[in-house]
Each structure stands twice: as structure tokens, then as C-alpha cells.
Amino acid sequence: MSEAPKSLNFIEHIIEEDLANGFPKERLRFRFPPEPNGYLHIGHASSICLNFGLGLRYSSPVNLRFDDTNPVKEEQEYVDAIKRDVKWLGYNWDTERYASDYFQQLYDWAVQLIEEGKAYIDSQSSEEMAAQKGTPTEPGTHSPYRNRTIKENLELFEGMKQGEFEEGSHVLRAKIDMASSNMLMRDPIMYRILHKAHHRTSTDWCIYPMYDWTHGESDYIEQVSHSLCTLEFLPHRELYDWFLDQVYDKTKVRPKQREFARRNLSHTVVSKRKLLKLVDEGVVNSWDDPRMPTISGLRRRGYTPESIRNFADTIGIAKRDNLIDVSLLEFHVREHLNKVAPRVMGVLDPVKVVITNYPEGKEEWLEAENNPEDVSSGSRQVPFSREIYIEKDDFKEEANRKFFRLKLGSEVRLKNAYIIKANSCSKDTDGNITEIQCTYDPRSKSGSGTEESLRKVKGTLHWVSIKHALEAEIRIYDRLFLDESPDTHKDKDFMEFINPDSLKVIKGYLEPSLKNVEIQDRVQFQRLGYFCVDQDTSQGNLVFNKTVGLRDTWAKIQQNN
RNA sequence: UGGCCUAUGGUGUAAUUGGCAACACAGCUGGUUUUGGUCCAGUCGUUCUAGGUUCGAGUCCUAGUAGGCCAACCA
């Protein structure tokens, strides 16, 4: 077996360089560190695939670590959803960790910093501290509390921990440099008082560590070798390193933070706050609404884990701003579903066809291939009868040579069945076609091997026998936003670009083999697209979500005319 | 009136670290096909600008330009 030489992304280059410089491969360790304050989305999928992909590549453990330092926003529900989504994507974490597991260690280290004169209690309001912080172009000024005695600091910190103070009355700050060009180094807050129960530690603590103080130390505790995050954390790196310096023991692995650019997907938003707004304002029905770019939404839409992993792999990882066209994601789901989704026939916008020379009351069960891409998938039987539905779009009274479908006076193949010829049609008073009268060639039955069955006719249509058809609710989705990058307009809110027609619910008529489908089953409605059984399906009420349409060359030809 | 990051086809990412700019998607043209799907073949098109170093620059240096990030008791 030869493996195609795959080029490395810049993170892999860094790791290779570290290994070349003597870092032991067995000490490589990664982590995926979500905050349990919302659902995972396609952007997280990229990060998950990066970290777990590195774990697979180097046979290294990857921890799932919940960054749960803010009980105001975090909930167990999100922890459960995140675990479900990571598993569904196909990854196994080494150990499940929580930053809250480290609260005691973090506290002890904080005490140590105070004792070393590197941290102090500030007792000003957040407004006062903000005023002293300066601006990116002007240095800050020192807090009047900056030079409290170590003893006083220790007593106050202990008091904070014991719950003696109100929220907002005191914070612990690192004593670094109020004149630093990096705003994060201007005496950052390490702890704040929050009289709020935590989803894991309950009321054990009423002081909670801030992100910067927690994250790097957690990496260190877990001995994560490469701590990967998005680019907006780049300025945090200096502080990450500073905090690490305070506790670092040279015999241990020193975690290295490196930053990559967040992946942006066109025609959507990927920010928990914005996604939450879509849910709260009823633009979508839930976090797992199939229009949402959340992992759970994509799953419900019919996306496969493989397709998402391949997508993440293809878009790669880099440091520049990007806007990835959603059509690339669609390509990957088509690519996978083409191989695995059974083919079935369903008519979504029906018009009745009567085959006038087919005996009334007669029915035949015809053999239909389940998937031409997978011979092992076998075949099934579909019923044929005198009255069938075809798509309205598949018939025109007159059309030019490019129209490979049914028109008066010409022939077309019914998939898996017979060649029919349209002779006439009926219309209602508004001129809408209500019925097409055809005749069929009884010797042209698919697979019969007769000369007539082998005739080449230009078009092949899908169809469904009216008498046998299953009615189903079909949910057709379109992109949620009309603009390719709705949240990057300076003067317009992303909500202004919402596509009012992102969901269309219609009734479809399906072949009877679909009677016993299960939730999440994925199929291809031939010539239309890929569809997935929605969880709203119940006894006698079939609901399908459209995952994505087939590539549609005909639509393109029409558009260009 | 600051600091930091980034710049390669329409999109995303590569380039053996200074040595013929490539892969995928999208587009276009043909072929196959009982899905206008799939598949196959072909084609289009790229190093932000100006200098510099070098036999040789996408890669290194300088300046410029453009975009992004940074002043939450969020992560």
C-alpha cells in the first residue's frame, strides 16, 4: 500500500519542526476545548477535525476539555450536546476533562503568585479599572490598590473565596505592566466573584478564574503539547506564556499556543451569539433546525460525518481571512451520499399521466436497482399501473430539441419501466395542465432484453404509481441568508439578510418501498436530490428533509438562455 | 496617534524551506449513461504594489497598499 504524499499545513510543519528538534513524539498531546455555552457548529467541526486529526496522525491522545469557568452562561445540556456531536463526527477523546476540575490547583497557584508579589486584589469598579486601562495608543495607569501588602492581599483573597464579599467588590489581578503595548498585559483580571452555582462544582466556589488564567494552566496540567486556537487569541499568547512562566517546571512539557484563522462559511453565520439570536427570534425552529450550520442541524439535514470530515480536510487550515463557499460543503455531501444513498423515486410537483393503452386495474411490480454505484445494494420492486405521477417540469406541450423530456408526439423512458409517448393533454379553465394522455410500448419493459427495451430514447423520467404512492411531507431548504457574508457589513445587521424563503414545505408522492424507513435514513430521490427522514416522522406521517439537490446541468442550461 | 497578524486563479489550500506555481471546488468543451446524476477526457485561469539581495524570489529584506485583531469582572 502506497500512501499519497499529503502536504502539511502550517500547524503540522510546526509539530514536525518540534519533533526534528528533539521533542519526543510520545509526548505529543492535543485537546479540543469548547465552552459549554452553546451548540457546536461547522466552525468547531474544523477545529475538532484539526485536533483529533493530529491525534490520529501522530497516534497521540486528544482530550475533550470543557472550558467551564463562567457559570453564568454554561449548562450541562450543552456539555451533553457537545459530547454527542464530537462522537457523531467519529472521534474518540482520550479523557474527558473540565477546567473546573482544576479550580483548587488554580487557586493554590494564585495564592503563590500573591505571595510572590505578582498578583493583587483590586477593589475598584470595573468602570474605574477600564478608565485606568488606557487605550491601544496610550499606556494605562496604576490602580491605587496595586501596592497593597502581601498580607492584605492574602486576607482579601481568602475572604473572596469564603464568600464574604459581594459580586464586583474585588478582583484578583496579575501585576504585570500597565504600559504594555499589549492591552492584555495591563494587569489582567485572574479571578472575579460570582455568587452563582456551577453545573459541576455547584456552590463550592464563589470566585471563578478568568479564561487567560485558566486555559494555559489547564493545558499545562494536562500536559498538552500544542494548544491550538483561533487567531483572535493571538494577543493572548504573551499572557498565556507569562502565566505559564509562573508555574512551569522544566521537567514537564511546556504547552505551546498556536493560532489559526477561523473558517467562515458563505451564506451563514457561525457565532454562538448570532445563532442563538436566530433561535430566540424564531427565524429557525431550534438549534438543530436543518438550516442551521450547527453540527446537530447538519446532522438533521442529512449530512454525514464523513462528508463533514472530508470538507474540513479539503479546506485545510491557515492564517488568512477566508470565506468558504457553501457549495464546497455541498459537494462533499453529494460525493458521499452518491456512494451510499439508496435510489428511490418520488414526485414532488406532480402532474397526472394516464397510459390509455394500459389495462385498467392491472398492476405490475418492476425491478429497480437500489444504487448503480454499489452493486451489492441489490434491487427492489416498484409498482406500475395505468395512472402515474410525473413532475410538472418534465412535460411541455412543445419544446425544442434540447428538452430531453416528455412533449406531445414524442417518447420518453420511464425509469425502470416502459417507453411512453405523449398524445394529448387536458387543461383546467386557467390553462394549467391537469392530465397527460400517453400510450406505452408493452415490449419496451426495462430489463426484459427485447429489442424494444434496448431502444435509445433521449430522456428518462422518474414517476410513481398514483394508486400505490405514499404521501409525505417534504421540507425543502434554501440558504438562510441571501448575502454571502451577512455579518461583515459595517452598516447593516446580519438579520437584514435573512432569506424569507429558506423553508418550503410541500407534499410529495413516494414509491411504497419507503413505508418502513427510519429516522435519519438517507435516500436519493432520483433526478432530484438527497433526502433524509426527519425526526418529526411518526406513524402514518412521513417527513423528509432535503439535504441537497443533485447537480443540475439542465437548470444551468435554462438559466443561460 | 500605537502594537500585532495576514496577502498565491472566481473560492479554499499547497509548493521538497531560495530552484519548472500545483491539488480540490466552481466554470467551460466533449464522451459514456435507463438519473440532464455518477464516471471519463480535455480546457480556462494565480503569486497585492514598488524597490532591493541573488545565477535564480511566491518564499528573504525595505517601503507602501489592502484586510483583520487588540481597551468584557466573556471564552
Q: ipTM score of the complex?
A: 0.95
Banded pLDDT at A373 (limits 50, 70, 90): very high
pLDDT for residue A3 is more than 50 = no
Q: Is A250 a catalytic residue?
A: no
Banded pLDDT at A144 (limits 50, 70, 90): very high
pLDDT (0 to 100) of residue A489: 87
| Same structural domain, A369 and A412 | yes
Contact yes or no for A511/A526 (Cβ under 8 A): no
pLDDT for residue A391 is more than 80 = yes
| Same structural domain, A337 and A359 | no
Q: Is residue A521 part of a domain?
A: yes
Residues 449-508 of A with CB under 7 A from strand B: 453, 456, 459-460, 462, 488
How far the first Cα of chain A sits from its last, in Å, is: 49
| Same structural domain, A474 and A337 | yes
Q: Is residue A532 part of a domain?
A: yes
Of A462, A488, A517, which one is at a domain's C-terminal end? Answer: A462
pLDDT (0 to 100) of residue A397: 96
Pairing of strands A189-193, A207-209: antiparallel
pLDDT for residue A559 is more than 90 = no
- Tally of structural domains, chain A: 3
pLDDT for residue A115 is more than 60 = yes
Residue whose C-alpha is closest to residue A40's, from A299, A319, A311 = A299
Banded pLDDT at A336 (limits 50, 70, 90): very high
Active-site choice (A262, A274, A396, A479): A262
- Convert the pLDDT of each residue in A461-515 to its tens digit: 999 999 999 999 999 999 999 999 999 988 889 999 999 999 999 999 999 999 9
| Same structural domain, A398 and A448 | yes
Q: Is residue A218 part of a domain?
A: no
Number of H helices, E strands in chain A: 13, 27
Amino acid at A32: F
| Ranges assigned E (strand) in A463-555 | 464-465, 470-477, 503-510, 522-525, 529-533, 542-549
- Convert the pLDDT of each residue in A501-512 to its tens digit: 999 999 999 999
Between the CA of A373 and the C1' of B39, what is the distance in angstroms?
Answer: 10
Contact yes or no for A362/A468 (Cβ under 8 A): no
Between the CA of A238 and the C1' of B21, what is the distance in angstroms?
Answer: 36
Task: Calculate the CA dihedral of residues A405, A409, A410, A412 and round it to 10 degrees.
Answer: 60
Banded pLDDT at A5 (limits 50, 70, 90): low
Q: Is A166 a catalytic residue?
A: no
| Phi, psi values for residue A328, rounded to 5° | -70, -40
CATH number at residue A141: 3.90.800.10
Amino acid at A523: V
Provide the domain limits for residue A430: 348-462
pLDDT (0 to 100) of residue A185: 97
Banded pLDDT at A431 (limits 50, 70, 90): very high
Give the C-alpha separation, A330 to A93, whole Å.
Answer: 28
* SS3 state at A486: helix
pLDDT (0 to 100) of residue A335: 97
Residues 224-243 of A with CB under 7 A from strand B: 231-236
Residues 111-130 of A with CB under 7 A from strand B: 124-126, 129-130
| Phi, psi values for residue A414, rounded to 5° | -90, 125
Q: Is residue A7 part of a domain?
A: no
Averaged over A281-293, what is the pLDDT? 96
Element (H or E) spanning A461, and its range?
A: strand A460-461
- Convert the pLDDT of each residue in A153-182 to its tens digit: 999 999 999 999 999 999 999 999 999 999
Element (H or E) spanning A376, and its range?
A: none
Element (H or E) spanning A411, and its range?
A: strand A411-414
Residue whose C-alpha is closest to residue A187's, from A246, A141, A237, A128 = A141
Of A148, A183, A211, which one is at a domain's C-terminal end? Answer: A211
pTM (2 d.p.): 0.95
| Same structural domain, A302 and A392 | no
Residues 269-308 of A with CB under 7 A from strand B: none
Neighbours of A146 (CB within 10 A): 15
The reply to whether A519 Cβ lies less than 7 angstroms from strand B is: no
pLDDT (0 to 100) of residue A231: 95
Banded pLDDT at A1 (limits 50, 70, 90): very low
Residues annotated within a binding site of A for L-glutamine: 67, 211
pLDDT for residue A326 is more than 70 = yes
| Same structural domain, A387 and A402 | yes
Give the C-alpha separation, A33 to A66, whole Å.
Answer: 5
For cell 451577512, name the residue: A486
pLDDT for residue A236 is more than 60 = yes
Nucleotides of B under 7 A from a protein CB: 1-8, 10-15, 17, 24-28, 34-39, 67-75
Q: Is residue A327 part of a domain?
A: yes
| Same structural domain, A197 and A179 | yes
What percentage of chain A exceeds 70 in pLDDT? 99
The reply to whether A446 Cβ lies less than 7 angstroms from strand B is: yes
pLDDT for residue A446 is more than 60 = yes
pLDDT for residue A7 is more than 90 = no
Q: Is A262 a catalytic residue?
A: yes
For cell 496595586, name the residue: A146
